Amino acid sequence: MKGRGGSQGLLRFGGDRMVYQTVSINVSSSEALDLTITAHEGEFRFQLKEALAENRFDRLWRQVNRAKGLQTFIAGN
């Protein structure tokens, strides 16, 4: 049987959801209702139903980039 293309990740099952975790390379947002996640598998664009607050996006960005080894600081801390 010939191999199929795929991705490396972790598949988790919960009571009402299934979540596929993979390594994110970057997260970006061009506007409040737009979220783009870039991973090894490609770019995934989401049109959000609710605006993503700036502080929530910043927290997500820091989390993804810390996982890559980037050290960040918050002014005033």
Give the Å distances, CA to CA, from 39 to 26, 31, 33, 64. Answer: 7, 20, 20, 11
| pTM of the predicted protein model | 0.62
User: What confidence tens digit (pLDDT) does each residue in 38-69 have?
Assistant: 887 788 899 999 998 889 999 888 888 887 77
Greater confidence (22 vs 35) lies with: 35
Q: What is the pLDDT of residue 50?
A: 92
Q: Return the structure tokens found at 49.
A: 């139903």
